[in-house]
Structure 1
Amino acid sequence: MRLKGYPGDVLLLGVFLLPAIVTAPGLPWGGQDWIYSLAELVGVLALSAFLVAGMLSARIPGTDAWFGGLIRVWTIHRWFGFSAFMLVMVHVLLLAFATLPDSIGRSIGTVFPSLSHWEVWVGWAAFVTMLIFIAPTLDFFGALHYQHWKRLHLLSVPALVLALVHTLTLSSMAWVWWLLSALAMAAIAWRKLLSPWLARKPYVVKEVDTLARDVVELRLRPRGKGIRWRAGQFVYLTPMDRSLAAGYREEHPYTIASASADEELRIGIKAVGDATDALVNIRPGAEVCIEGPYGTFFETGDRETPDSEPQRKQLWLGGGIGITPFVSGARDRASNASAGREACLFYFANRPERAYYLDELIQISEACDTFTVHVHYMNENGVVTREYLAQRCPDFAEREVYMCGPPGMITHLKNLLRHEGVPSCRIHTEAFDFL
């Protein structure tokens, strides 16, 4: 099995370790000082992780491919942020242990000194601020509203500033912190201040095609030069229509449903919350802003196949509004019947009226020898079984697998595929949780 390595991973690792490499040689490691030195090194790594997480917030279109797509960037960002939080706690504990052999009083005084040691209390303020915006994202707090989460994350800026003040007053290696903090602040400034004006493209809603009671497909026309995309990618859409009941100027990610050669940008949207409830009722002529494209959904499998090996056939598993990346892939084949590897699509829906794109997909499959479609209605036939897949696609376990749909469907299919011996590196999913 080949490991999933990306060029950006080496860059991130280098940036993360740079402060530790610069700082470690100057610390006293002999005698009883080694615990204190270790505490300082852990603190250095904590701030490094925090700064890298800040850098990853830039979300510049096109650069996410260096790291395996924006979904993977978000995962790395989350792990760096959580690691920074945990490393800060280890840093504090090690500082307490370093002086514990002398006395408990000195140990407590090291962690909670007098107010004259303001630089230490600035560090505590940074930690508390970090706790406020990280803790609610943990699972035991339950579901967190998307826009509330985004606003809460603005606290990362004062937390980062406080952490830098704490470190700069105690560190002799100021240049490395100025360098990394400049990169992190530039990334945050781009995301929060500049990208709404420089990265977003204006579009107009040309048509709104109703696919079901709560599902529409928007046909968008660019004002000026639009974006270019590949099948399986997604964009952030920001409605600029003040008449909407909700979601005005709120950005949300949506998968592109257009073929890559289309002039129109088509996006399938299902009403699942206040913003999407309003968006399915948007009117032609309304303005929206588009940022992107992002993602490497259909490109991920290519990294696992050495050039000397034949490219694997593909298995597409889509359900609900998660069918949209496969609609884009199928439309690519409609415009070029020889495009892409052989693909077998299983379309999962609760009942026939919820299979929004089925008629079009069947028409494409009839005109394309490398594309087949099967539909499975959950209410009539129950959950998908190994026998069902094998009967219609005998070599399904040998294929590169792409899936998108409701969480329950994804979990069930992943378990089924792994039971059949399909390795994780050949199972590719798309999810927009707090992206």
Structure 2
Amino acid sequence: MKISYKFMALVSILALVLAGCGAKETAENGQAAPEKVKLTIWHNWTGQDAKAVTMRQLMEDFRAAHPEIELEDEGLPTDGLKTRLRTVAAANEMPDLFVMWPDAMTKEFVKGDLLQPINEFIDSKPEWRDNFIPNALDGYTVDGAIYSVPMNLAPSSFIYYNQAIFDEHGVKVPTTWAELEAAIGHFNEKGVIPMALGNKANWVAQSTIFSTIGDRVTGTEWFLKAVEQDGAKFTDPEFIEALKVMQNLGSIGAFQEGFNSIDETQMMQLYSQGKSAMFMNGGWALANLVNNAPEEVLDNTHIMILPPVEGGKGDPNSTSGVVGTGLGVSKKLTGAKKDAALELLYALGGPEGQKATLDSSTLVSYNIELDTSKAHPLFIELYELMKNVKINPVYDSKLSSAAVEVINNGLQELLMGGNPEDIAKKIQDAQAGALGK
């Protein structure tokens, strides 16, 4: 077969051009073109609150700065994310990076050999590592290995209240448990929802209300012993008393009808529409209010912690919470993919990410001064409040997954008239079973 000289010449020229382009790229960069990497991340930054909007923007900024990394992100609501993570964990099919929670979830994933430690990476950036607040990394540390860093600070239990509604109906903002019960009675008489609750995703009542009530009644030391099943049980009288205190809130009409049928977003809408005087939620709710509440509601909103329970053993100047969610790095990642994952972790949880989070009206577990000239007044109020309030453990950060499911379902049942002793026994059996005791 004959091949024309013109065709051979064209092939030669094309080869030289391509070689020249490759040489030019190598010369300009001083190194070979970076390896293309595909990275997956699952998160719960799905809403229109300031924090979620900020985190999504940080991911967009990361994409722009790293064209060599194809970032595929998937957002799920918090309860859906937790469920899905545990489902894929059972099959060892974790995404490359994923939002996870400290303490119980971290320990379970480490036990399942699903995570890789990041000690070497954070040790390479001591100015970042050493600027977290005291004990911030404890919830992500197992046997000396650090598996993530907190990207926020998550006190989970505050009362947000509308001062204008209190004033309109002549109701005193409560500072004692008796005053809280009296306020609930007054608002019911006036046809105002005392405290909006959206417990369809049943962690809400447990995390934002009961974890603090439980601590008020039993004290933190008792709870930690019960978690370990070492000298305390969930069938003990003090825990049953805590369940009764919670149940009494439902009995006296603290919450609107159908509270187990609406979600956290709908709960916030009731408050934003001026239909409820109060709601209980974590510090994260503030970013939602700042972005979405009408000005007349936002300007009259203030924050306080739950009043002390008479005769309780807990510290009345505390609230439940955790240091905040972190990003887990899949054990399977190696090489360029692992490097890319750590770069993203740093972009979201490093100093710039921490500052962006604080600027989004969200507390952080990191030492940064708040710029009060730019911060929303309500966030300044929360920021100042937290300087004098201790954090005690939120129940779902310490209990086993099995016990968390039982207590979440149990509190729904409790608020509908369930028997406290029966519910306590189910929780005790679940935790003891999970520990093999």
TM bucket (normalised to shorter chain) is under 0.3
TM-score, normalised via structure 2 length: 0.25
Q: Which has the higher contact order (CA 8 A, sep 6+)?
A: 2
TM-score, normalised via structure 1 length: 0.25
